[in-house]
Amino acid sequence: MTLAAIGAGPLQGQAPKRLVQLQEVSVTGKRPLTDVGTTKTNLDTLTLRETVVNSMADVLSQNTPIFIKSYGRGSLATASFRGTSPSHTQVLWNGLKLNSPTLGMVDFSMIPSFFIDRGSLYHGASSVGVSGGGLGGAVALDTKPTQGLDGIKLNFIQGISSFNTYDEFLRVQYGSPKFQSSTRFYYANAKNDFPYVNFNKRNEDGTYPTERNKNGSYRDLHLLQELYWQGRNNNKYGFTGWFLDSRRGVPMLNVNYREEDQSKNQQDETTVRLVGTWDRYNDLWKLSAKAGYSYSNMLYTYKGENGTEELVEMIHSLSRIHTGYAQFSADWYLSPKWMFKANASVNLNAVNSYDKYDKTGYDKQRAEASLFATAKYRPAKGLSFAADLRAESYGQHLTPLIPAFFAEYVLWPQAGLVVKASVARNFRYPSLNDLYFLPGGNDSLRCERGFTYDGGIETGFEAGRFTFRGEATVYNSKIKDWILWLPTAKGYWTPSNVKQVHSYGFELRGRLSVDLGRQWGIRFDGNWAKTRSINQGEPQSWADQSIGKQLVYIPEYSSSVTGRLSWKRFTLLYKYNHYSERYTTSSNDSGRLGVLKPYYMNDASLEKVFISRAGELSLKFSVYNLFNEKYVSVLSRPMPGRNYGFFLSITPHWKTRKTAPGSGSDSLTGTVSSR
Can you spell out the DSSP letters for 359-420?
Answer: --EEEEEEEEEEEEEEEEEEEETTEEEEEEEEEEEETTEEPPPEEEEEEEEEEEGGGTEEEE
Question: Do residues 548 and 535 lie in contact, with contact meaning Cβ atoms separated by under 8 Å?
Answer: yes
How much is the pLDDT for 74?
A: 87
Contacts of residue 473, Cβ cutoff 8 Å, sequence gap at least 6: 39, 123, 454, 455, 456, 506, 507
How much is the pLDDT for 655?
A: 61
Q: What is the C-alpha to C-alpha distance for residues 217 and 172, in angstroms, rounded to an integer?
A: 29
314 within domain boundaries: yes
For 658, how many CA atoms within 13 A lie in the half-sphere containing its CB? 5
Pairing of strands 338-355, 67-70: unpaired
Give the Å distances, CA to CA, from 613 to 104, 171, 567. 50, 20, 21
Question: Do residues 225 and 240 lie in contact, with contact meaning Cβ atoms separated by under 8 Å?
Answer: yes
Cβ burial of 521 (10 Å; 0-12, 13-18, 19+) is buried
28 within domain boundaries: no
- To the nearest 10°, the Cα dihedral for 104, 110, 114, 118? 0
What is the pLDDT confidence band of residue 37, given thresholds at 50, 70 and 90?
A: very high
What is the pLDDT confidence band of residue 587, given thresholds at 50, 70 and 90?
A: confident
Identify which of 472, 534, 435 has the alpha carbon closest to the alpha carbon of residue 65.
472
Identify which of 160, 163, 96 has the alpha carbon closest to the alpha carbon of residue 131.
96
Q: What is the C-alpha to C-alpha distance for residues 228 and 279, in angstroms, rounded to an integer?
A: 11
Measured in whole angstroms, how far is the alpha carbon of residue 419 from the centre of its chain?
27
Domain count, the chain: 1
The distance in angstroms from the start CA to the end CA of the chain is 22
Identify which of 224, 220, 303, 291 has the alpha carbon closest to the alpha carbon of residue 261.
303
Q: Mean pLDDT across the stretch 272-292?
A: 95
Identify which of 379, 388, 385 has the alpha carbon closest to the alpha carbon of residue 337.
379
DSSP state of 519: T
How many other CB atoms are there within 10 angstroms of residue 462's CB atom?
A: 15
Q: What is the C-alpha to C-alpha distance for residues 338 and 332, in angstroms, rounded to an integer?
A: 9
Q: Mean pLDDT across the stretch 386-415?
A: 95
How many other CB atoms are there within 10 angstroms of residue 152's CB atom?
A: 14
Lowest mean pLDDT across 185-194, 297-306, 519-528, 604-613? 297-306
424 within domain boundaries: yes
Domain of residue 123: give its range: 33-652
Lowest mean pLDDT across 14-28, 509-523, 607-621? 14-28
Amino acid at position 157, single letter: I
Contacts of residue 592, Cβ cutoff 8 Å, sequence gap at least 6: none
Each residue of 90-136: pLDDT tens digit? 999 999 999 999 999 999 999 999 999 999 999 999 999 999 999 99
Contacts of residue 29, Cβ cutoff 8 Å, sequence gap at least 6: none
Q: What is the C-alpha to C-alpha distance for residues 362 and 353, in angstroms, rounded to an integer?
A: 5
Q: Which H/E stretch holds residue 42?
A: strand 40-43
Contacts of residue 548, Cβ cutoff 8 Å, sequence gap at least 6: 534, 535, 536
Cβ burial of 344 (10 Å; 0-12, 13-18, 19+) is middle
What is the pLDDT confidence band of residue 367, given thresholds at 50, 70 and 90?
A: very high
Lowest mean pLDDT across 170-174, 189-193, 460-464, 623-627? 460-464
Each residue of 133-147: pLDDT tens digit? 999 999 999 999 998
What is the pLDDT confidence band of residue 359, given thresholds at 50, 70 and 90?
A: confident
Q: What is the C-alpha to C-alpha distance for residues 569 and 53, in angstroms, rounded to an integer?
A: 22
Contacts of residue 505, Cβ cutoff 8 Å, sequence gap at least 6: 82, 83, 474, 475, 529, 530, 531, 532
170 within domain boundaries: yes
Whether cis (ω within 30° of 0) applies to the bond prior to 101 is no
Q: Is 625 helix (H, G, I), strand (E, B) or coil?
A: coil
671 within domain boundaries: no
Each residue of 478-507: pLDDT tens digit? 999 999 888 887 888 899 998 899 999 999
Measured in whole angstroms, how far is the alpha carbon of residue 211 from the centre of its chain?
32
605 within domain boundaries: yes
Q: What is the C-alpha to C-alpha distance for residues 473 and 508, in angstroms, rounded to an integer?
A: 7
Q: What is the C-alpha to C-alpha distance for residues 57 and 80, in angstroms, rounded to an integer?
A: 11
Question: Do residues 273 and 237 lie in contact, with contact meaning Cβ atoms separated by under 8 Å?
Answer: no
Question: Do residues 458 and 471 lie in contact, with contact meaning Cβ atoms separated by under 8 Å?
Answer: yes
Amino acid at position 185, single letter: F
Q: Which H/E stretch holds residue 265?
A: strand 263-281
Mean pLDDT of the chain: 89
Give the Å distances, CA to CA, from 491 to 276, 439, 494, 543, 586. 46, 10, 10, 19, 20
Between 337 and 308, name the one with better pLDDT: 337
Residues composing the chain: 675
Q: What is the C-alpha to C-alpha distance for residues 388 and 370, in angstroms, rounded to an integer?
A: 13
Identify which of 470, 388, 446 has the alpha carbon closest to the alpha carbon of residue 124.
388
Is a pLDDT exceeding 60 seen at residue 661? no
Buried b (16+ CB within 10 A) or exposed e, 587-608: ebeeeeeebbeebebbbebebe
629 within domain boundaries: yes
How many other CB atoms are there within 10 angstroms of residue 89's CB atom?
A: 30
Q: What is the C-alpha to C-alpha distance for residues 335 and 352, in angstroms, rounded to an integer?
A: 50
Between 232 and 592, name the one with better pLDDT: 232
The CATH number for 634's domain is 2.40.170.20
How much is the pLDDT for 358?
A: 84
Q: What is the largest CA-CA distance in the chain?
A: 80
Question: Do residues 138 and 95 lie in contact, with contact meaning Cβ atoms separated by under 8 Å?
Answer: no
Q: What is the C-alpha to C-alpha distance for residues 134 and 128, in angstroms, rounded to an integer?
A: 7
Q: Mean pLDDT across the stretch 355-362?
A: 88
Identify which of 197, 189, 57 has the alpha carbon closest to the alpha carbon of residue 640.
197
Amino acid at position 424, single letter: A
Is a pLDDT exceeding 70 seen at residue 213? yes
What is the pLDDT confidence band of residue 454, given thresholds at 50, 70 and 90?
A: very high
Question: Do residues 629 and 603 lie in contact, with contact meaning Cβ atoms separated by under 8 Å?
Answer: no
Whether cis (ω within 30° of 0) applies to the bond prior to 439 is yes
Lowest mean pLDDT across 2-6, 69-73, 251-255, 314-318? 2-6
Q: What is the C-alpha to C-alpha distance for residues 556 and 551, in angstroms, rounded to an integer?
A: 10
What is the pLDDT confidence band of residue 668, given thresholds at 50, 70 and 90?
A: low
What is the pLDDT confidence band of residue 204, given thresholds at 50, 70 and 90?
A: confident
Question: Do residues 497 and 547 lie in contact, with contact meaning Cβ atoms separated by under 8 Å?
Answer: no
Degrees to nearest 5, angle at CA 136 with 135 and 141: 110
664 within domain boundaries: no
Q: Which H/E stretch holds residue 152?
A: strand 151-161
DSSP state of 253: P
Between 346 and 205, name the one with better pLDDT: 346
